[in-house]
Structure formats: structure tokens, C-alpha cells
Structure 1
Amino acid sequence: MKKLLLSLVALTMVFVMAACGSSDEGTSGSDNEAAAGDKTITLGVTPWTSTVPPTKIAKLIFEDMGYTVEETSADAGSVYVGLSRGDIDVFMDAWLPVHQTYLDEYSDSIEETATSYAPADAGLVVPTYMEDINKVSDLKGKEDMFDNTLYSIEKGASVTGVLNDAIDQYGLDLEQVNSSEGGMLAQAMKLMQQEEPVLFYGWRPHTMFNKLDIKILEDDQNVLDTASVHVVTNKELKDSAPDAYEFLSNWSIPIDDVEAMIKKIEDDGEDPEEVAQEWIDNNQDKVNEMLGK
């Protein structure tokens, strides 16, 4: 009888251990999802049209991975401060080399994680009807045609410093007038409607090159470097959300796709997240590759 009792106890312990093991295996996947769900990823958003499409694509993919996603809108300088403090985890629209100063300043806490697309043309822009102005050096001695004014974007953007350096190095008698992207373009379009001379800052991807008859001036002294656009993350993301970090480290997108999405959002009035979801649906193989599937 004693042996029978011991056998029953042992058999009971086997069933208990098997049940525990089965429970652990059954919940491992949901535990991973819960871990992602407990993590909030914050995306920095600058007031540039080029920031929206990649940010919305990343947001939808993160949410599909189980993360809670928030967006923080700010100028570029404030976005990098937020990245350095850990208040912002990801910035999808870092322009190098003009943003290199931020990467150098906050190198202890942020990193360049992937190249989104390159090259991204940028520089001084004039209407094509200004046939005698094709290079930046052509502006020398003709600054009064433009009321000695270069229209540009907000002062918080580091490119404004680069443009001032270009003005100095080319020896141009120009003053940079800063406003929002929309304000700059509104002023340029107003003058172009009257076929007046106008000089402003332009870049791709942007619908301005589809809507306006303009040209980027040749930088014949190589002062204004060709840009490339990158993903920047807070260094803690690699440990706190490794699957999200892996996705970002594999991220890339054609500049033409970004420009097409900007047109749908800005010109056609489509919802940004619907446009982003459409891109995901049409590029599922690429998305899976970036996710490491």
C-alpha cells in the first residue's frame, strides 16, 4: 500500500510539471506581444512634408508589431534634444550632412541607424524663366534683382546655417529670410505668378518640383553638399525594443515613392495613414525583408 501511495504521488507530480511546461509554451508568444505592447515608441516629426510618409509607415508597422506609438512635433533642433534625452526614440527624416552637427553633439545618446534614401537634391532654386541664372556664382552682382533676399525655411533647421555659410563663401550680398516651409513657398509662388525674380531654398523629395517650373542652381564651388536622408534613434532603443530596432536598421525607401506619397497627401488631400498603408500593402515583400522575415 505504501508503494502504491508513493507511485500515485510521483504520477501526480509528473502531471503538474507537464501542465506547467505546457502553460509556459503556450504563453511565450503572447508574453512577447505583451512586452511590445508595454513599450511606447515615440517618433519625432518636423514640420517638413518629407517627414510625414516614412513616419506614418514606421508608425503603422510598429503598431502591427504590438507597440504603442506616439508622435512628437517639433523643429529639428528640438527633435534632436528629445532624442538625446530619450523623450523621442526615432526620427525618420535626418538630413546629412547638415544634421551631422546634432549627431556629433549628442553622439553619446543617439546614432545614425539606416540610410532612408540618397541622394536627395537640395540647394538654391530660381524659376526656369531666369535663363541667365544657372549657377550659384551667377548670382554675384545680381543680388538686387532679388531684393537681396533669399527665402528659406524656419531658423531651427540647421540648413539655414549652411545657407549663410554659402552666402559668405560666394561673397553674395543676400539676406536669408526665414519662415515655415509653407510661408517660404507662398512667397515664392506669389512672385513667380508675376514672373518676378525670386531665390529660395528647394529640395527633393517635394512636390514643388512637380507644381512649379523651377531649377536648382549648380553649386560650382561645392559649398552645398548633396544630401542623404537617414533614420536616427536613441541608443537605448536597441535594448528596449530590439525587433523595432532591427526593422529600422534595415529601413530604406525610394525617393520617388516618398515624393509620390507627398503628392497624394499634400495635393490630393488623402489621409496620411491611408497613403502609408497603401505603400505597405504594395510593398509587402520589402516590408518583410526589413522586418527580417
Structure 2
Amino acid sequence: MKKFSLSMMIVLLLGFLAGCASDGGEKDTTANQKITFGVTPWTSTIPPTKIASLIIQDMGYNVEEISADATNVFIGLSRGDIDVFMDSWLPLHDNLLEKYADQIEDTATSYADVETGLVVPAYMEDINSISDLKGNENLFNHEVYGIESGANVTGIINELIEGYELDLTQVNSSEGGMLAQAKRSIENEDPVSFFGWRPHTMFNKYDLKVLSDEQNFFEKAAVHVITNNELKENAPDVHEFLTNWNISIDDVEEMIVKIEDEGADPEEVAREWIDNNQDKVNEMLGK
């Protein structure tokens, strides 16, 4: 009887230890699993990426960020090198979605009805539409300023210039370079036209107007979350969270101001948003 009891105790102990090892193994698997975000060089990309990253880390995953232009982010998504992109602008990125449709998924809408297009300062009272640029190109030194040449919107602006038969050349640089040129012109109240969009601090800093576009090269945009097709199988809880993702454009713009103008740490700003919106976070997590 004693031998039987001792044997049973050993079996139970081994079973318990095996169970612990199994649980620990699962946790380690999750902890060692990495979720990779694509990050474009736009201020609008940072707040949603940081918020989602912190929430996913709280779920037990490691997180990595890869910086690239939008085209290369989509290439990374299609190859599985990138799992998530939080800042895809539709319809601007429709061609990339279609190109990699077999490898990627349009997972959620962050926010919609985003105004985007060519902008001018409000003091240019006679310039209110793209058509008004025709014949006034010399006011702008025959230049319009855009973001990096690899961005999808660069091609749209070039098509717009051709479609409206404007004697303008698009000058491309980084978002910061474009805005630095715009700032110099606005401070001197000189004519200037450049690419503008919300959410962005440019509309907080300057009195701007988006030029009406009669030929509809620019439509109101919606910002979407894009994931690669492997995420749903590899990290179903992360995929479910991202499927439920949404945020207001006003919240994103407010966070951009804190980060860009006030010099706040992006992760601290994101954590503050999470703490102040825990009910919304729980809803996105399906709790």
C-alpha cells in the first residue's frame, strides 16, 4: 500500500510539473512571438502605432517597428516581414491593396471622412480651387510642394498637374522638409501651395484651406489598418484586437500636437490615451 501511494504521488507530481512546463512553454511562446509594425515617416502614423504597440505588448507579445515609405511597407506586408500597418490611406493606397490582395488584408477602419489635397494659406483669398491655380502659376514660382517621391500621393499630384494643365512642378522632400518650406512662405505671407491632410498639426499652426478639386483627383480619405494574411493564424488574439480597432481623428490630432509641438514622449502620450480610454480598449480587446 505504501509502495502504491508513493508511486501515485510520484506520478501526480510528474504530471503537475509537466503541466507547469507546458503552461510556461506557452507563455514563453507568446512572449517570444514578435509583432512587427510598418511605420511611414508621417506624423499621423505615430499615435495609432504606439497605442496598438503598447496594447499588444500588454497582451504578452514583443513588438518591433520598421521604418519605410508606404510602398515598401506594403511590400513588407506582402512578404510577411511586416505584420501590421496602422496608417493606410484609402483610396490613395487602393492600387497597393489591389497589387498585394492575395497576401494582405484590409482589417479595420481607424477613422473616415478625412480631408486631403492641395492647400494654400487662407490669406490667398482669390485661390480657392485647383482651377484657380491656372494662370497664376507664376505666383508660386511654378512649384507645388509634396512629400517623399515614393509616396503614392506624389503620383496623384503629378496626374492632377497634368489633368488641370498647370504649369507647375512638384518639388518632393520629406514631410518635415515640405512643411519647413511652407512655414517660410507663410511667415512672409508669400504664395505657397503644398500637400495637406488631417490629422496634422499644420491645421493647428496655420490658417489653411484645402483647394476644391473639380476633377476629383483627391477624394475624402479613410485611414485603414492593414495586416498580412499570416497574422490571423499566428496571433489570432492580436488579429481580433486589430479587427475591432478604431480611434477618432480628433484624438490622433491632439496626440500629434503633444508629440510634435510640446515635445512629449510618444509612448507616454499613447499610454495616457490608453489609461483615459480603458473602456474603449476593453471593447477592442473583446472584453
**TMscore range, shorter length:** over 0.9
Deviation at 1:192, TM superposition (A): 1.2
Aligned residues: 287
Aligned twin of 1:285? 279
Q: Any residues of structure 2 matched to 1:53-64 within 5 Å, and which?
A: 53-64=47-58
Tell me if structure 2 keeps the 8 A contact 1:40–1:68: yes
Moved more, 58-67 or 165-174: 165-174
Aligned partner letter, 1:122: T
Q: Percent of counterpart pairs with the same letter?
A: 61
- Please tell me whether residue 134 in structure 1 is matched to residue 128 in structure 2: yes
Deviation at 1:189, TM superposition (A): 1.0
- Please tell me whether residue 33 in structure 1 is matched to residue 33 in structure 2: no
- Please tell me whether residue 125 in structure 1 is matched to residue 119 in structure 2: yes
- Please tell me whether residue 242 in structure 1 is matched to residue 231 in structure 2: no
- Name the SS for the 1:123 alignment partner: strand
Aligned twin of 1:97? 91
Aligned twin of 1:159? 153
Tell me if structure 2 keeps the 8 A contact 1:113–1:248: yes
| Structure 1 portions without partners, runs of 5+ | none
1:185 to 176, 179, 187: 179
Q: Any residues of structure 2 matched to 1:63-74 within 5 Å, and which?
A: 63-74=57-68
Deviation at 1:21, TM superposition (A): 5.6
> What are the superposed Cα offsets for residues 216-254 of structure 1, whole Å, 9 maximum, x if unpaired?
111222221111101111110111111111111111110
> What are the superposed Cα offsets for residues 200-228 of structure 1, whole Å, 9 maximum, x if unpaired?
00000000000011111112222211111
CA–CA separation in structure 2 for the residues paired with 1:25 and 1:281: 35
- Output the TM-score relative to the length of structure 2: 0.94
CA–CA separation in structure 2 for the residues paired with 1:290 and 1:31: 27
Aligned twin of 1:171? 165
| Structure 2 portions without partners, runs of 5+ | none
- Please tell me whether residue 84 in structure 1 is matched to residue 78 in structure 2: yes
Moved more, 12-21 or 278-287: 12-21
CA–CA separation in structure 1 for the residues paired with 2:258 and 2:27: 33
Aligned partner letter, 1:200: F
Aligned twin of 2:258? 264
Which protein is bigger by CA-based radius of gyration? Answer: 1
- Name the SS for the 1:116 alignment partner: strand
2:37 to 29, 38, 43: 43
Aligned twin of 2:268? 274
> What are the superposed Cα offsets for residues 85-110 of structure 1, whole Å, 9 maximum, x if unpaired?
11111111111111111111111211
Moved over 3 A (4+): 11-32
CA–CA separation in structure 2 for the residues paired with 1:290 and 1:33: 22
Tell me if structure 2 keeps the 8 A contact 1:34–1:66: no
Tell me if structure 2 keeps the 8 A contact 1:50–1:262: yes
- Name the SS for the 1:87 alignment partner: coil
CA–CA separation in structure 2 for the residues paired with 1:285 and 1:35: 28
- Name the SS for the 2:267 alignment partner: helix
CA–CA separation in structure 2 for the residues paired with 1:28 and 1:243: 20
Residue 283 and residue 68 in structure 1: after superposition, are their counterparts in 2 closer, same or farther (change >3 A)? same
CA–CA separation in structure 2 for the residues paired with 1:254 and 1:96: 16
- Name the SS for the 2:89 alignment partner: strand
Residue 29 and residue 257 in structure 1: after superposition, are their counterparts in 2 closer, same or farther (change >3 A)? farther
RMSD, aligned CA: 1.8
Aligned partner letter, 1:138: D
Aligned partner letter, 1:179: S
1:212 to 206, 230, 242: 206
1:108 to 86, 98, 102: 102
Aligned partner letter, 1:82: G
> What are the superposed Cα offsets for residues 132-168 of structure 1, whole Å, 9 maximum, x if unpaired?
1111111122111111111000011101111111112
